[in-house]
A = this chain, B = another copy of it.
Amino acid sequence: MTRPQTRIQQKNSEAILEAALDVFSTYGYRGATLDQIAEVAGLSKPNLIYYFPSKEAMHQALLTRLLDTWLDPLRDLDPDGDPVAEILGYVRRKVELSRDYPRESRLFANEILQGAPRMRDAIEGDLKRLVDAKATVLDRWMRDGRIARLPPHHLIFSIWALTQHYADFDSQIRAVLGDGHDPFAEAGDYLDTLFRKLLAP
């Protein structure tokens, strides 16, 4: 039976995951330490282990929670909507995700960089199925002449690459742009233009 979470459990589990996200997204799984997470969370190390059985479990909890947030915008792509509006809407929502959840983006990037050892199943399963389904929709739009003919999977990859880049490579982008820039606002405009031109039949 699953215990009804007490207020304290709720609060501390949340604080731990929040701290773990900070540390894992910065240093990767192996580079992160429980001591570091404990300090960020403001709890003792044994207390962390009281709420999560292991470091691995914390990481897993974060990844599981992450995947849904990450895929929701793609799920929302409406096969019956206007093709260009739907795709541009997806791009915009992905830019917003990068802006509002950069740590989640970096956590994901870290995991994939390492060959996705802890997410392979989800990627080969849920993710692949969803992408294949949406690729079919894109393909139909292309055959109907409503958007330019492009390889649908790579079209999706390019949306991921361009939007996530602004979260994952944030430090590089800010260093190169220098002060007085709002990278995400500029990215939103630029990517809107880019995909508008790309999709024009």
Binding site for B on A (CB under 8 A): 26-31, 106, 109-110, 112-116, 120, 123-124, 127-128, 131, 148, 150-151, 153-155, 157-158, 160-162, 164-166, 168-169, 171-173, 175-178, 186-187, 189-191, 193-194, 197-198, 200
Contacts and interface: CB of A to CB of B under 8 A. Distances in A.
A27 B28 CA distance: 8
Contact of A106 (B30, B113, B127, B158): B113
B26 A29 contact: no
23 contacts: A26-B113, A26-B114, A28-B28, A31-B31, A109-B168, A110-B110, A112-B168, A112-B172, A113-B113, A116-B171, A116-B172, A116-B175, A120-B175, A123-B172, A123-B176, A128-B176, A154-B186, A158-B162, A158-B190, A158-B194, A161-B161, A161-B165, A198-B198
A191 B150 CA distance: 10
A190 B150 contact: yes
Contact of A27 (B112, B114, B165): B114
Contacts of A31: 27-31
Nearest to A194: B198
The 5 closest A-B pairs by CB, nearest first: A30-B31, A161-B165, A154-B190, A28-B28, A31-B31
Contacts of A198: 194, 197-198
